[in-house]
Structure 1
Amino acid sequence: AATRIFEAAVLLVLTVYFVLGAGLLTLRYAVLPNAQQFRPWVEQVSSQALGLPVHIGAIQTQWHGLMPQFALHDVRIDGPQGQPALQFAAVEATPSWKSLTRLTPTFDQLVIRGADLTVTRPDANHLEIGGIRIALNSSGQSDAAQQFADWLFEQDEILILDSRLTWENAAQHAPPLPLTQVNLLLRNTLLTHRAALTATPPAGFGGPIDLRASFRQPFFLRHTADFSRWKGTLYGEASNVDLAALQPQLPLTLPATTQTGRGSVRAWAQLDKAAPTAFTADLALRGVALQLAPSKTPGPLPPALPASLPPFALDTLSTRMTWAPLPGGENASLQNLQFRTAQGQS
């Protein structure tokens, strides 16, 4: 009996080996050289995976190791209402073996170069990427947008290189902020999601911008991109930035209006279930003129002082600001505060 079991196991292994080998040979020498003929099928499968219509102008293939690589040209993703939402001249795609177990297209790496993207913040609870509205909480998400967001955060790695991005903070009525030399890296594992973005703002705005995010999701989520269940950290850094130009671009309300000033800013925000649990900012500023806002001003920063206080100006200002919510209130502090007034006082 043991011999028969062993022989059956060997036969099964050999069968799987030859079936996989035949499949790889067929894929490499019969399917891939004629990939353009399968373009309608690729569009259909991609549309089903993303939950949005996908259109591909042309497909080129090559073999790398044990996996094929695809070069997709003139790629367009339509929004839920059928409007063109995202368009890419070329996308380099390396499939993952996980596609076989998930029964949906999954990629080890997606590389997009020279993209031109627009990201809009219409209100506090949504972002629009090329017209595709993504809810930052668990409600108000369309089925198509939810499926697209889930798919996006289930790919191993997405790279967007040497691209342009326009940030529109409509919720704050801010002017559009065009960014060039945009490089974005998104890496996803089973439970973690990490992103890093570098970009160059307009010359008068300041130096390069560095944004990073690291989040973790719990087990057994119905939707991978249920951001209301994620927990993690956001980090941002900018040098020689024009504070008056920066302030309206931030997705929060500050307790003071910056009339003039430049300097370096580093900030960390801890979030849990889409709510801030801690905020820290290191500031090194010069030529600062501030107008305090009314004390009722909301926001994840120290509460504002009475509006009756006059504006004040400082030659230099450096400090660390911290904030955290408390039951029935909040805790805010300024650490290592150093400043010099226009009269030389400090």
Structure 2
Amino acid sequence: MIRHLSRLTYRLTLLLIFLSGLAVLLARLLLPLAELYRGEIEQLAGEALGQPVQVGFMEAHWRGLGPRLILHNVDLVNPQNQRVTLRLSEIQVDIALLDSLRNRAVTTRRITLARPSILIKRRTDGSFAVEGLQGLEGLAAAPQRADAGGLFLLPRRIAVSDGTILWENQAIGAAPMRFTNVNLELFNDHQRHQIHGELSLPGASASRLSLAADIRGDLQQPGGWSGDFYLGGEQLILEQLLRHRIPSGYAVPDGQLGMRLWSRWRDGRMQHLEGELQVQ
């Protein structure tokens, strides 16, 4: 009996290896035909991203143990009014081949927004908006309005690679700040959003910021969210940080700043702040 079970297990293992190898071979052969299935892939991407997707053109490559679909000129569309909520130059979709075989449905392993340009705006009422920018050649670049929360409508796990973010805090009337080399991981679970990653201030290669956040609630509603934030950095240029952020008549100090800050927010307002600052 034991010998029979062992033989059966061995045969099933060989069959699984054969089927997996066959699936890999078929997937490799079908990669050049990916453009022919644009409609199906747009539907797959739309299901993964949680809203309709329109793709300009696409290509496919083999990466690791599964295919990677590269979608270019991607528009995320609000299904209620058919307006574009976010426009992205490239999205990379990694397919989990073995999981897809196990689940009998295409399963995404990772979705990466490659080199996105995004405006994140905090309004005067404390709510947030996310907008895609056609270009960040200057602050006059025209945005596409995000009616539906932008990044926080995306799937459970998503990455941002080598992005550019323009941060505008209208609540304090400060001039927008531009961050480059943005690499973030976002985890969305209904009304909970977790973020961690790094970003740079332009023009100072050594100025690097680390960011982590755990946010709960609806970021689009004034006072509708709470959360905990961490912000850390080394060799931050004070002139870059404080430009247009201190009252007129005061000189912008020279030097560099190192910091570690923790803050707690409730109902859209900061309740607690502590940290360490080092000025050189």
Aligned counterparts of 2:230 and 2:71: Cα–Cα separation in 1: 34
Aligned counterparts of 2:126 and 2:64: Cα–Cα separation in 1: 44
Q: Residue in 2 aligned with 1:270?
A: 262
Give the structure, 1 or 2, with the largest relative contact order (CA under 8 Å, sep 6 or more): 2
Aligned counterparts of 1:231 and 1:243: Cα–Cα separation in 2: 22
For structure 1, list consecutive stretches of 5 or more residues without a partner in the other structure.
135-141, 249-255, 285-317, 319-346
Contact 1:207 1:239 in 2 (8 A): no
1:194 is aligned to 2:188: no
Aligned counterparts of 2:99 and 2:249: Cα–Cα separation in 1: 51
From the superposition, tell whether residues 270 and 52 of structure 1 become closer, same or farther in structure 2 (CA, over 3 Å): same
Q: Residue in 1 aligned with 2:73?
A: 74
Q: Residue in 1 aligned with 2:157?
A: 154
Q: Residue in 1 aligned with 2:137?
A: none
Deviation at 1:75, TM superposition (A): 1.3
Q: 1:241 is matched with which residue: 239, 242, 267?
A: 239
Q: 1:214 is matched with which residue: 212, 225, 232?
A: 212
Deviation at 1:72, TM superposition (A): 1.7
User: Which structure 2 residues correspond to residues 141-180 of structure 1 after superposition, within 5 A?
Assistant: 147-148=153-154, 151=155, 154-155=157-158, 157-161=159-163, 163=164, 165-177=165-177, 179=178
Deviation at 1:73, TM superposition (A): 1.5
User: Which structure 2 residues correspond to residues 1-346 of structure 1 after superposition, within 5 A?
Assistant: 1-29=1-29, 31-79=30-78, 81-96=81-96, 100=100, 105-108=107-110, 110=112, 112-113=114-115, 115-123=116-124, 125-130=126-131, 131-132=145-146, 147-148=153-154, 151=155, 154-155=157-158, 157-161=159-163, 163=164, 165-177=165-177, 179=178, 182-187=180-185, 193-200=195-202, 210-215=208-213, 231=228, 233-236=230-233, 238-241=236-239, 245-247=243-245, 259-263=250-254, 264-271=256-263, 277-282=272-277, 284=279
SS at match of 1:23: helix
Q: How large is the Cα RMSD of the aligned pairs?
A: 4.1
The letter for the 1-side match of 2:197 is A
Q: Residue in 1 aligned with 2:221?
A: none
Contact 1:242 1:262 in 2 (8 A): no
SS at match of 1:172: coil
Aligned counterparts of 2:217 and 2:175: Cα–Cα separation in 1: 37
Percent of aligned pairs with the same residue?
18
Question: TM-score by structure 2 length?
Answer: 0.69
The letter for the 1-side match of 2:173 is H
From the superposition, tell whether residues 109 and 84 of structure 1 become closer, same or farther in structure 2 (CA, over 3 Å): closer
Contact 2:130 2:151 in 1 (8 A): no
Aligned counterparts of 1:20 and 1:76: Cα–Cα separation in 2: 34
The letter for the 2-side match of 1:106 is T
Aligned counterparts of 1:212 and 1:35: Cα–Cα separation in 2: 38
Contact 1:244 1:259 in 2 (8 A): no
Deviation track 1:263-316 (CA, whole Å, cap 9, x = no partner) reads: 3344433245766544225264xxxxxxxxxxxxxxxxxxxxxxxxxxxxxxxx
Contact 2:95 2:110 in 1 (8 A): yes
Contact 1:193 1:216 in 2 (8 A): yes
SS at match of 2:10: helix
Rg: which structure is higher? 1
Deviation at 1:85, TM superposition (A): 2.8
Deviation track 1:54-106 (CA, whole Å, cap 9, x = no partner) reads: 11111111223322233221112234643223223333443345864786753
Aligned counterparts of 2:91 and 2:127: Cα–Cα separation in 1: 27
Q: Which moved more, 1:91-100 or 1:1-10?
A: 91-100
For this pair of structures, how many residues does the alignment match? 250
From the superposition, tell whether residues 120 and 214 of structure 1 become closer, same or farther in structure 2 (CA, over 3 Å): closer
The letter for the 1-side match of 2:48 is A
Contact 2:97 2:107 in 1 (8 A): no
SS at match of 1:247: coil
Question: TM-score by structure 1 length?
Answer: 0.58
Q: Which moved more, 1:271-280 or 1:96-105?
A: 96-105
For structure 2, list consecutive stretches of 5 or more residues without a partner in the other structure.
132-144, 219-223
